[in-house]
Structure 1
Amino acid sequence: MKYNFLSLIFFLVLASVVQAQTINTNPILTSWATDVNSNLPLPEYPRPQMERDSWQNLNGQWEYTILDKGAELPEDFVGKITVPFPVESYLSNVMQSVGAEKELWYQRTFTIENSQRRGRVLLHFGGVDWEAEVFVNGESVGTHQGGYDPFSFDIKDYLQRGKDQEITVRVWDPSDDGPQPRGKQVNQPRGIWYTPVTGIWQTVWLEFVPENFITKVKINPDWDNGSFLVETMAEVGAGEFKVEVRLLEDDELVVQGTLGEELVLTIPNPKSWSPDNPYLYDLEISLKQGNKLIDKVKSYSALRKISIGYDENGMQVMELNGQPLFQYGPLDQGWWPDGLYTAPTDEALLFDIEKTKELGFNMIRKHVKVEPSRWYYHCDRLGMLVWQDMPSGDMGNVWESKPGIYRKGLNRERTSQSEEIFKTEWKAIMDAFHHFPSIVVWVPFNEAWGQFKTKEITEWTQQHDPSRLVNSASGGNFELEGNKLVGDIFDVHNYPDPVMPSPDLFGKVNILTLGEYGGLGLPVENHTWQEKDNWGYQSFKNQEELWKRYQQLIDDLKLLLPKGLAAAVYTQTTDVEVEVNGLMTYDRKVIKFPVEAMRKLHEGLYLKNF
């Protein structure tokens, strides 16, 4: 981050303070905390991009214990934990730290009917931070590393006779003692670094599928041709299989082809998706053998195109569906005072997006965290553009100054193991969330946090998903390739006032953006994580002072648009722990700005494009 003098003083003071407490055992709560059904929290279907009717939610009360790392499968457990809330969180009913020297164990039983055994039985985990080994009836089914990507195991062969079955999960998470992606989690929370998140933090569920079943559907919108390109993957045995894709509208369209073939579904009079008109098409994908229906899933998609265009001065701009669109949104950390990484309810998860939209933003930068699939589904439904960060990890970069070039960091030397962990999880995240049309920008690195091999990672990201733009390093450590920066975007950070990258450097060969700015702070009494020592990049005494300063920031921001600024990100959606920079308080009970006035103020940012 590029700081003003006051911000620099703050961070020098902050660096001298070590906060011993890792768990706040008396946090403020959101209004949704009392709505949580501890026996079945977050009951909604967790994978809206590929939906089946035959499933079973396993959220709720599990047994837990915390043992030394390397301990054997436990026979005794110390209490109950509410899954899927992290063990450190209030809503888990545990609120206990774990650390790198310990492992967290879960166990529960579930009932399965004979009719559910006819095909395969898939055990799904939306997210477990960080390393998870899964046992069914005492036998190890498999191990997964990665705190942000969903995974599953076929457990049919591990089921016993009778209805009652047992699941045990071992979790190890070294937090900031390890090289793995972790975002803003640290063992000693302070400043911009927050409480650790260990264990299961997204929905656990069973899915009952046929012996031959669809494993993945990849839908690419071809906006230029009004088409969807649909590729279906399946696990099948001997025989010939075909795929049928059906568009579920008044005038149904159907296309058939061979399994694994990319099918083209061309739509007469296509409707484009945008923030103003987030139109979604419902699809149904069937696996057939001859004329026999074997498996079927429901999905959806949207026709939209994100691309690079040029303004009247030859500066690069972001275009949505062939039209320039200034993108403006908040930095969104995705943290909750009662659930930490996990929103208390689906209504709570939706609330942040709805309020962001009401305040007049058209984009969200999801900051060094990945959300559950339903969050992106809500963005798709509501018409909210998303910049998706890769969660950072393996910190410790050396910083340098390159006057006038905003190049502030050096690539970090990471071990081969650390590099492989990053690459594996980044690919898994991109694959798992490729489906969601709201995601328009991938951000591999933030401010040189753990940044390594920038050119290699950026170019691989562009090749792996050419349908989106790539912001190689939001706010720092850019690499040159010829006369341009690696990636599509030249992104700087500055607090609190808006600035932009110099158009004289790489302005006509990179999109110019302001990846972070603002951070105006206002602690609201009875709505803070702690009673004192809360902070913002620039603090205010009341909402009137705060609003006046924000209006000045927008006036200054508007001056940059004619010079070629293509997007900006304001810090941030909500307060988070000791940070009070939010548009809302951490408990979401107070919106600090006048909603309608802010929405009208933001409208002026988009007028130059139309």
Structure 2
Amino acid sequence: MYLARCVLLSLLVATSAASPQHDIISRQNGGTGYSVKQPPLTTPWTDKVGTEPWPEYPRPQLQRPKWQNLNGVWSYQNASNLDAVQTPPFGQQLGRKVLVPSCLESGLSGIQDSFTLYSWFSNTFKVSSDWKNQKIILNFDAVDYEATVFVNGKKAGFHRGGYFRFSLDITQHVKLGQENELLVFVHDPTDYGDAVIPIGKQTLRPSHIFYTPCSGIWQTVWLEAVPQNHITKLDLDANMDGRVNVTVHTSAANATSNVMVTIHEDGKVLKTHSGPSNRPFQFSVESPDLWSPDSPKLYNVTVQLGNDKVQSYTGFRTITKGKVDGVVRPLLNGEFVFMFGTLDQGYWPDGLHTPPTKEAMIYDLKVLKSLGFNMVRKHIKVETELFYQACDELGLLVIQDMPSLRPSQSKTNPVDCSSSPILPNAEQQNEFSRQLDLLIDQFKSFPSIATWVIYNEGWGQITDYFPEIELTKRVKQLDPTRLVDSVTGWYDHGVGDFSDNHHYANPQCGTPFYSINSSPYDETRIGFQGEFGGVGNNVSIEHLWNNQAAIDTINQTYEIDETIESWNYRSHLLLGELADQVKRFACSGGVWTQTTDVEGEVNGLMTYDRRLKRVDEDQWKKDIQALYDAAAARSNATTSTP
């Protein structure tokens, strides 16, 4: 009887996975004009998005004057399968309108469908004749998950990876001064079938801590004009001693040209230095003001290669670890920094992965900063580069997670009903490693990023051997200037800079006690509370994700406090426990869960719509300051490198 029931359930799951896709396909021709679909919950910025979203220059560390934003209302239609890419709908009017950038599953997209596995996006653009004799680069800041791009009927390129920028040289396909057709095919399997890809908390079947997915073009699309030989990427690191490490990557990757780097402040040139392109070189600036959360000083940088001149910025700071009074600590500019922040999911009820506006995105960060947090853990998601620029400017350290592979899911054998975790095969693991490289390469020049996280709570982590050993070496090779938290939470095999504990609600930070799934504190590494807190407080329907399935999971929250007053009381006790562990043991930082509610989770400092703050601000400021005071009291000894 049990065996038959197991087989039947497997068949039902397979059927339910396929049916929604068929429903979406049958509706693909509905509607012709763009309008916001009513999401289950709005924010104060929902009505401010309009039809020209995200007008800001999207690449703050490599800026050029000649660029063109392609965000706005595009045409869209669903496709039936992966073979559709072989027959592009050139010159055809697609049936629906979509806002770019956005997630197809969001209200702001104007689509708000589910199971959008295969999609076509279409737009037209004109390029000024002023761009003649220059290369024309088409930039996509993020498309989830695979994108095949066509310009004027010709394939211009392909990219895989839902969180990272890619650029295409489309010069040969573009007609200056005329309408050009841009067609993009997107395939996003999320966790459909046997797919094992970096998805973070996305799932096609949202439930409590796993959320509505994001498919499609969800970050800015834009054009720029560049010289024939041009700068493609800047690697900038400036340390506390004033030493600047630079690599100027160019389109002539196998050639070496002279580049000029200038550090300046308020119109005053502090240093000019020339060096070779495509090779690392160094120079020094005398007595710079250092970057820290208390004083987030940034310096402007100009880089010139022939006729190509770009603007950037950097901050002088050094992130290391060392022993303070015999305890291994994270060090910022040679001093113990107690890193305390929130688990920051980066989800929005109206835009999902895409914040409605830059103002909205920065609002979250300003709330954290105003309460006294000096750090944010960007949780298994990657943001637009403007997010990290804001952290640089506000003075918020960033612990940056690699988006996890298929999280915490298992498959059932229909024959014997045995269960086994869904883990990557060799090819999928190699792809995870490649995209980890993309994460480091794209974001390693932002001063605020202090730590890279490879695995979260064992999600997608192979345990019959330990891939984090080689991955940690690889991350250190790509970026030797930061710390690596190889495994935040479970399945710790002694690798990386942190001994990281997850426990709800009470902390167990650098202590001689721990619980199931976590590991004993390792005194050779930094004692850290990667997640704790998580206490919840239910609210009225106007602040909830109005989806009954999500509402039904609210009681899965680690703890529910019936009033905001009791929620603040419990938070006060837990923060006090953490402070006590800082005083008594080897706790060097922590991550409170979380910045905001998300769908069926109600444990945020703010509700999901950002309209209600739960925090007693005076209490939280005092409790957070008490953590820093406790850490400072442990920091009076000489610091040494372990």
TM-score between the two structures when normalised by the length of structure 1: 0.89
Structure 1 match to 2:401: 389
Is 1:141 paired with 2:151? no
State how many pairs are aligned: 569
Equivalent positions of 1:532-543 (< 5 A) are: 532-533=551-552, 534-535=554-555, 536-543=557-564
Q: CA deviation at 1:118?
A: 2.0
Q: CA deviation at 1:99?
A: 4.2
2:342 to 323, 330, 333: 330
2:617 to 595, 599, 606: 595
1:304 to 289, 310, 317: 317
2:49 to 36, 49, 53: 36
Inter-partner Cα distance in structure 1 for 2:39 and 2:239: 50
Inter-partner Cα distance in structure 1 for 2:628 and 2:176: 63
Q: CA deviation at 1:395?
A: 4.1
Inter-partner Cα distance in structure 1 for 2:184 and 2:495: 41
Change (3 A) 1:181 1:156: same
1:88 to 80, 84, 105: 105
Structure 1 match to 2:251: 235
Q: Give the share of equivalent positions with the same residue, in percent.
A: 39
1:158 to 162, 173, 180: 173
1:462 to 457, 473, 476: 476
SS in 2 for 1:371: coil
The 8 Å contact of residues 534 and 593 in structure 2, kept in 1 or not, is answered as yes
Structure 2: which amino acid aligns with 1:591?
K
Could you list the structure 1 runs, at least 4 aligned residues long, displaced by more than 6 angstroms after superposition.
18-24, 237-240
Structure 2 residues without counterparts, runs of 5 or longer: 1-15, 25-36, 411-419, 514-519, 633-642
Inter-partner Cα distance in structure 2 for 1:285 and 1:161: 28
SS in 2 for 1:149: coil
Change (3 A) 1:77 1:323: same
Inter-partner Cα distance in structure 2 for 1:227 and 1:165: 46
SS in 2 for 1:269: coil
Structure 2 match to 1:491: 500
Inter-partner Cα distance in structure 1 for 2:236 and 2:435: 21
Equivalent positions of 1:185-584 (< 5 A) are: 185-223=202-240, 225-236=241-252, 241-249=257-265, 250-288=268-306, 294-312=307-325, 314-395=326-407, 414-452=424-462, 453-479=467-493, 485-502=494-511, 507-525=522-540, 526-530=542-546, 532-533=551-552, 534-535=554-555, 536-562=557-583, 563-584=585-606
- CA-to-partner distance for each residue in 1:375-421, whole Å, 9 max, x for gaps? 000000000001000101134578xxxxxxxxxxx998531220121
Structure 1 match to 2:4: none
Inter-partner Cα distance in structure 2 for 1:286 and 1:221: 18
The 8 Å contact of residues 144 and 161 in structure 2, kept in 1 or not, is answered as yes
Change (3 A) 1:157 1:21: closer
SS in 2 for 1:374: helix
Inter-partner Cα distance in structure 2 for 1:506 and 1:515: 13
Structure 2: which amino acid aligns with 1:458?
T
Q: CA deviation at 1:46?
A: 0.3
Inter-partner Cα distance in structure 2 for 1:488 and 1:209: 41
Structure 1 residues without counterparts, runs of 5 or longer: 1-17, 289-293, 399-409, 480-484
Structure 2: which amino acid aligns with 1:368?
I
SS in 2 for 1:517: strand
1:132 to 131, 147, 150: 147
SS in 2 for 1:471: strand
Inter-partner Cα distance in structure 2 for 1:48 and 1:322: 28
SS in 1 for 2:191: helix
Inter-partner Cα distance in structure 1 for 2:543 and 2:423: 42
- CA-to-partner distance for each residue in 1:315-359, whole Å, 9 max, x for gaps? 211111111111111000000000000000000111111101111
Inter-partner Cα distance in structure 2 for 1:506 and 1:161: 62
Structure 1: which amino acid aligns with 2:61?
Q
The 8 Å contact of residues 201 and 407 in structure 2, kept in 1 or not, is answered as no
Inter-partner Cα distance in structure 2 for 1:149 and 1:188: 24
Structure 2: which amino acid aligns with 1:328?
F
Is 1:27 paired with 2:44? no
Structure 1: which amino acid aligns with 2:126?
T
Q: CA deviation at 1:219?
A: 0.6
Inter-partner Cα distance in structure 2 for 1:524 and 1:501: 34
Inter-partner Cα distance in structure 1 for 2:508 and 2:279: 48
Inter-partner Cα distance in structure 2 for 1:486 and 1:412: 23
The 8 Å contact of residues 99 and 175 in structure 1, kept in 2 or not, is answered as no
Inter-partner Cα distance in structure 2 for 1:305 and 1:161: 47
SS in 1 for 2:539: coil
Inter-partner Cα distance in structure 2 for 1:258 and 1:311: 40
Q: CA deviation at 1:277?
A: 0.1
- CA-to-partner distance for each residue in 1:451-503, whole Å, 9 max, x for gaps? 13121212222222111111111101111xxxxx1111111111111112445
Q: CA deviation at 1:311?
A: 2.5
Structure 2 match to 1:105: 120
Change (3 A) 1:366 1:238: closer
- CA-to-partner distance for each residue in 1:106-165, whole Å, 9 max, x for gaps? 000001111113210000001000000000011111110000111010000011364211
Q: CA deviation at 1:600?
A: 2.2
Q: CA deviation at 1:506?
A: 5.2
Is 1:73 paired with 2:91? no
Inter-partner Cα distance in structure 2 for 1:570 and 1:348: 21
The farther-off stretch of 213-222 and 423-432 is 213-222
Inter-partner Cα distance in structure 2 for 1:287 and 1:50: 13
Q: CA deviation at 1:434?
A: 0.6
The 8 Å contact of residues 397 and 450 in structure 1, kept in 2 or not, is answered as no
Structure 1: which amino acid aligns with 2:506?
D
Inter-partner Cα distance in structure 2 for 1:457 and 1:239: 30
Structure 2: which amino acid aligns with 1:243?
V
Inter-partner Cα distance in structure 2 for 1:108 and 1:239: 36
Inter-partner Cα distance in structure 1 for 2:574 and 2:137: 51
The farther-off stretch of 25-34 and 502-511 is 502-511
The 8 Å contact of residues 66 and 98 in structure 1, kept in 2 or not, is answered as no
- CA-to-partner distance for each residue in 1:567-592, whole Å, 9 max, x for gaps? 11110000001100100000111111
Inter-partner Cα distance in structure 2 for 1:48 and 1:157: 27
SS in 2 for 1:91: coil
Inter-partner Cα distance in structure 2 for 1:311 and 1:243: 41
Structure 2 match to 1:10: none
Change (3 A) 1:446 1:281: same
The 8 Å contact of residues 200 and 407 in structure 2, kept in 1 or not, is answered as no
Inter-partner Cα distance in structure 1 for 2:630 and 2:453: 26
Structure 2 match to 1:482: none
